[in-house]
């Protein structure tokens, strides 16, 4: 089977970043090791993001978009991308481009043996508070999930679509993507990637989102793990 990739880009009030998103993802598409397209998911932006998204998609046949009727959150945007992808692989990157799209190729090198490959941000270019809150949140999540991942919040991931479509998403579960692949008896791997300062726009998550929110989500994950149904068909006729 020939591999192909859809890169999901959630967008919420990122009008200042979108032309850069277009430029850098076009540059990646030209050098990508497999056929690649982009799916921009507008999560109810209140600025001019939707109009810019439509212009980008009109100008580039490899770009497509979904537009939510209101703001549903990051997990919903990622889930919608999974649901609408028709390629064998799905990728995920944030529209602030604090990670480099060209490093998708670093993840692709491991996707044959792993069902999810995620970046782990080395030398993060975030504030001390943001770095520490993320570190604490990752430690809390790891103690609940035992997934062995150091940085599940890294916005650079590739997943086999068949696994991604089976993930029962709910708010906050984007932090648990590796753990949800493990629930399917899949394999996961993390790869060091670059990290850059945010050039434009403002972050949509504060300390509350990175600490209290993830803690509550851990209990939701434990409930789901207990109730999760996983099966494999041996034969049919």
Instruction: Please check the confidence at residue 176 and state whether its pLDDT lies above 90.
Output: no
Instruction: Please check the confidence at residue 54 and state whether its pLDDT lies above 90.
Output: yes
DSSP type of residue 23: H
3-class state of residue 190 by DSSP = strand
Which CATH number does the domain housing residue 55 bear?
3.90.550.10
For the chain, give the percent of residues with pLDDT over 70.
81
151 assigned to some structural domain:
yes
233 assigned to some structural domain:
no
Instruction: Please check the confidence at residue 76 and state whether its pLDDT lies above 80.
Output: yes
Domain that holds residue 160: 5-227
Local confidence band at 195 (pLDDT 50, 70, 90 cut-offs): confident
Number of domains in the chain: 1
- 121 versus 68: the higher-pLDDT residue is 68
- Condensed to tens digits (0 to 9), the pLDDT of residues 112-167 reads 899 999 998 776 555 555 555 566 666 666 666 667 676 777 889 999 999 999 98
Taking residues 77-97, report their average pLDDT: 95
39 assigned to some structural domain:
yes
235 assigned to some structural domain:
no
Predicted local distance difference test score (pLDDT) of residue 125: 53
CA distance 43 to 112: 31
- 121 versus 186: the higher-pLDDT residue is 186
- Condensed to tens digits (0 to 9), the pLDDT of residues 16-26 reads 999 999 999 99
Q: What is the mean pLDDT of the chain?
A: 85
212 assigned to some structural domain:
yes
232 assigned to some structural domain:
no
Predicted local distance difference test score (pLDDT) of residue 173: 76
237 assigned to some structural domain:
no
Predicted local distance difference test score (pLDDT) of residue 208: 52
């Amino acid at each position: 089977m020939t591999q192909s990739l859809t890169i999901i880009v959630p967008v919420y009030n990122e009008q200042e970043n979108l032309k850069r998103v277009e430029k850098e993802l076009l540059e990646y598409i030209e050098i990508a090791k497999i056929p690649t397209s982009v799916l921009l998911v507008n999560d109810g932006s209140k600025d001019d993001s939707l109009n810019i998204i439509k212009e980008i998609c009109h100008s580039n046949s490899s770009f497509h978009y979904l537009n939510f009727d209101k703001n549903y959150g990051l997990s919903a945007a990622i889930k919608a991308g999974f649901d609408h992808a028709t390629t064998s692989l799905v990728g995920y990157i944030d529209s602030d481009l604090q990670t480099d799209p060209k490093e998708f190729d670093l993840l692709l090198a491991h996707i044959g043996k792993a069902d999810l490959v995620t970046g782990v941000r080395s030398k993060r270019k975030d504030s001390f508070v943001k770095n520490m809150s993320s570190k604490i949140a990752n430690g809390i999540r790891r103690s609940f999930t035992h997934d062995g991942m150091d940085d599940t919040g890294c916005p650079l991931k590739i997943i086999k679509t068949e696994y991604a479509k089976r993930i029962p998403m709910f708010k906050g579960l984007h932090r648990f993507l590796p753990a949800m692949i493990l629930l399917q008896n899949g394999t996961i791997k993390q790869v060091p990637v670059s990290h850059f300062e945010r050039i434009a726009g403002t972050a949509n998550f504060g300390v509350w989102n990175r600490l209290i929110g993830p803690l509550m989500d851990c209990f939701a994950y434990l409930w789901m793990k207990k109730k999760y149904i996983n099966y494999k068909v041996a034969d049919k006729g």
